[in-house]
């Protein structure tokens, strides 16, 4: 089949393997063309290629000509790693399922007053009207002990009016950009995260409801990349963070907000303009993301989302650390 994608023309049938291009811009996101799940999904060198591109770039978009079915989507997710079973520990010693493995993210579902009344005090995330739309920069799954390494999002329906980009900032660069004294001050600090942070960082809204039963967790503010030696990133999520351990609450929040403001102002940015059937994969250890709500309320914007298992975040191993006394 001859396919036109942007300015490039390919015969997908005769390609021996998929190709990866850098999307132009300061960020370096990758674009994968010609991935054939039947051919590539269980081929170890293809899997390794895709994994290392993701670890290097932070965001990779896989283009497809048609929507994937669930089995195909799972094959693609497993090229990156095991699918995360979203189950967390609760404060009373039990466990709770906080999502389905395949989550449907639907910003076309509008929260009418009637629906809000039915839900009572339970919030379902997103903005006030569109539950699937998280418009502040964040990293997924930060309120769990071992947050998802990657998120995999498959476009099912896009707003007919356009818009609804997913935007990324590079938190590795945000760390590198800090002055040396601040970098050293941050090494060793840990931010506590909870499902409901009770609006610790206004105007970000709190998440309420039964999942508040989940335990609180703490993660290092400067996180070692799980797969790339010598790479660290700022790691916290102001939608979920409550405070910095062993620091005055107000001071800790002010520090986190200042770091977030720095990242949003200075870190390289990538705005993904969705094409039909895209699968976007991002590395939650390296980037933060947000959804853009610049499309009319009520228009569909529907995705399937899977998460890939990740390890517990660990403190950045600064290569020069031992030589700094």
Q: Which residues bind Fe ion (CB under 5 A)?
A: 140
Compute the distance between CA of residue 318 and CA of residue 102 in angstroms, rounded to an integer: 36
Contact 207, 125 (CB under 8 A): yes
We find the least distance from the C-beta atom of residue 183 to Fe ion, in angstroms, to be: 27
We find the least distance from the C-beta atom of residue 55 to Fe ion, in angstroms, to be: 19
- Cβ neighbours around 208 below 10 Å, total: 17
- Judged by beta carbon, residue 41 or residue 207, the one nearer Fe ion is 207
- Judged by beta carbon, residue 106 or residue 140, the one nearer Fe ion is 140
We find the least distance from the C-beta atom of residue 299 to Fe ion, in angstroms, to be: 20
What are the residues facing 223 on neighbouring strands? 233, 315
We find the least distance from the C-beta atom of residue 207 to Fe ion, in angstroms, to be: 12
Contact 232, 175 (CB under 8 A): yes
- Judged by beta carbon, residue 34 or residue 164, the one nearer Fe ion is 164
What is the number of the residue whose Cβ is closest to Fe ion? 140
- Judged by beta carbon, residue 20 or residue 279, the one nearer Fe ion is 279
Contact 197, 206 (CB under 8 A): yes
Q: Give CB contacts under 8 A, 24+ apart, made by 108-117.
A: 108/157, 108/298, 108/299, 108/300, 108/301, 108/302, 110/297, 110/298
We find the least distance from the C-beta atom of residue 221 to Fe ion, in angstroms, to be: 19
Contact 177, 266 (CB under 8 A): yes
- Judged by beta carbon, residue 59 or residue 189, the one nearer Fe ion is 59
């Amino acid at each position: 089949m001859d396919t036109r994608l942007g300015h490039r023309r390919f015969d997908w049938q005769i390609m021996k393997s998929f190709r990866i291009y850098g999307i132009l811009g300061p960020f370096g996101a990758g674009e994968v063309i010609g991935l054939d799940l039947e051919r590539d999904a269980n081929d170890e060198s293809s899997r390794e290629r895709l994994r290392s591109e993701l670890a290097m770039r932070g965001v990779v978009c896989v283009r497809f000509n048609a929507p994937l079915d669930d089995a195909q989507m799972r094959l693609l997710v497993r090229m990156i790693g095991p699918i995360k079973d979203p189950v967390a520990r609760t404060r009373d010693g039990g466990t709770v399922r906080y999502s389905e493995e395949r989550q449907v993210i639907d910003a076309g579902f509008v929260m009418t007053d009637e629906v809000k009344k039915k839900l009572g005090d339970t919030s379902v995330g997103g903005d006030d009207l569109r539950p699937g739309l998280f418009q502040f920069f964040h990293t997924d799954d930060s309120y769990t002990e071992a947050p998802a390494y990657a998120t995999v999002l498959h476009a099912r329906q896009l707003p007919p009016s356009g818009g609804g980009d997913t935007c990324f900032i590079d938190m590795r660069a945000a760390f590198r950009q800090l002055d040396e004294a601040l970098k050293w001050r941050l090494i060793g600090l840990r931010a506590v995260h909870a499902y409901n942070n009770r609006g610790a960082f206004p105007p970000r809204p709190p998440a309420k409801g039964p999942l508040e039963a989940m335990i609180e967790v703490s993660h290092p503010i400067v996180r070692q990349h799980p797969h790339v030696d010598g790479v660290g990133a700022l790691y916290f999520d102001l939608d979920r963070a409550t405070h910095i351990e062993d620091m005055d609450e107000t001071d800790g929040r002010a520090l986190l907000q200042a770091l977030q403001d720095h990242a949003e102002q200075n870190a390289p940015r990538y705005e993904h303009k969705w094409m039909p059937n895209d699968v976007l994969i991002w590395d939650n250890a390296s980037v933060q993301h947000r959804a853009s709500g610049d499309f009319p309320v009520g228009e569909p914007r529907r995705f399937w989302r899977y998460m890939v298992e990740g390890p517990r975040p660990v403190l950045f191993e600064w290569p020069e650390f031992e030589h700094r006394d």
